[in-house]
Amino acid sequence: MPTQIFVNLPCKNLPRSKAFFESLGYSFNPTYTNEQGACMVVSDTIYVMLLDEPFFAGFTRKPVADAHQTTEAIVCLSLDSRTAVDEIVAKARAGGAQPKEPQDHGFMYEHGFADLDGHQWEFVHMSGEPPQAG
């Protein structure tokens, strides 16, 4: 069985966050979705658990970061084309996300946004090999 990844993110308003990601084209696994959390399907092996903030807090002894004020992580996903990258960021902007400026590194194009809870998302399209260190 391949390794699966479950990224867990706190949400202040779970129904609003779920609707936002549905507007980007993501679906949710109903088996692992309830009023405390929603299992967003990214791929067959990648899932994002959007968790109601008090529920999320039960999994850690540390304070829950306010992602509008601090960066706790950057979630980066690859897409098949630059167009797909720009399209998902445009959908996110229309849904209330704060986009950042795109960057073209030659071999890699990236564009992203802060979601409704301030979590940073990056989407990249790799179109070549990175430069060799030398």
Q: Which CATH number fits domain 1-60: 3.20.20.70, 3.10.450.40, 3.40.50.300, 3.10.180.10?
A: 3.10.180.10
Extract the runs of DSSP E, i.e. beta strands, from 15-119: 27-29, 37-41, 46-52, 74-78, 98-99, 103-104, 108-114
Please compute Rg for the chain using Cα positions: 16
Rounded to whole angstroms, what are the CA distances from 73 to 53, 113, 119, 120?
16, 13, 7, 7
Enumerate the H helices of the chain as residue ranges: 14-23, 53-57, 82-94
Tell me the domain boundaries of the chain: 1-60, 65-134
Fold match flag (1-60 vs 65-134): yes
In this structure, which topology does domain 65-134 adopt according to CATH? 2,3-Dihydroxybiphenyl 1,2-Dioxygenase; domain 1 (3.10.180)
What is the value of pTM for the model shown? 0.89
- pLDDT tens string 8-39: 999 999 999 999 999 999 999 999 999 999 99
* Cβ contact 74:114 at 8 Å: no
Kindly state the DSSP code that residue 115 receives in the 8-state scheme. Answer: -
- pLDDT tens string 84-122: 999 999 999 999 999 999 999 999 999 999 999 999 999
Confidence label for 81 from pLDDT (cuts 50, 70 and 90): very high
